[in-house]
Amino acid sequence: MPESTRRNFLAQTAGLAGAAMLYSLAKGETLPELEIARVETFPLSYPTAGRFKFFEGPWGEQLGHRTVIVKTTAADGSVGWGQAVPSNNLPGGPRA
C-alpha cells in the first residue's frame, strides 16, 4: 500500500476526477457552461521554520512562505477555491 502523503492523495483524487469527466464525455454528456461572476484573491505570508531557499527574495532575504488563495464565484453561485505559490527562483516568478 502506498504511503499516505498529501502528494499521493492529490494525485489519486485528481486521477479520479479526470476519469469521471472522461467517462461522462464518453457517454455523450457535456460539461455545464459556467460564467465567472467574480474572482477574489487573498495574498498571505507566514513564517517558515528554518531556511528554505525557495522562500527567499532575490538577495537571499527570508520572505516567509508566500501564497495566494483564489476564490472564483460563478454566476449561478457555485464557488471554487485554488492556491498559487509564487517563487523568485522559477521562470516567470515575481521580481523585485
Q: Which single residue is written with the C-alpha cell 498571505?
A: 44
Q: How many CB atoms lie within 10 A of CB 74?
A: 15
pTM for the whole structure = 0.53
Q: Is 80 exceeded by the pLDDT of residue 16?
A: no
Listed residue (43, 40, 32) closest to 81, CA to CA: 40
Greater confidence (31 vs 82) lies with: 82
Q: Which three cell numbers stand for residue 18?
A: 479526470
Task: Check residue 73 and give its pLDDT.
Answer: 92
Residue 88 has phi, psi (to 5 degrees) of -75, -15
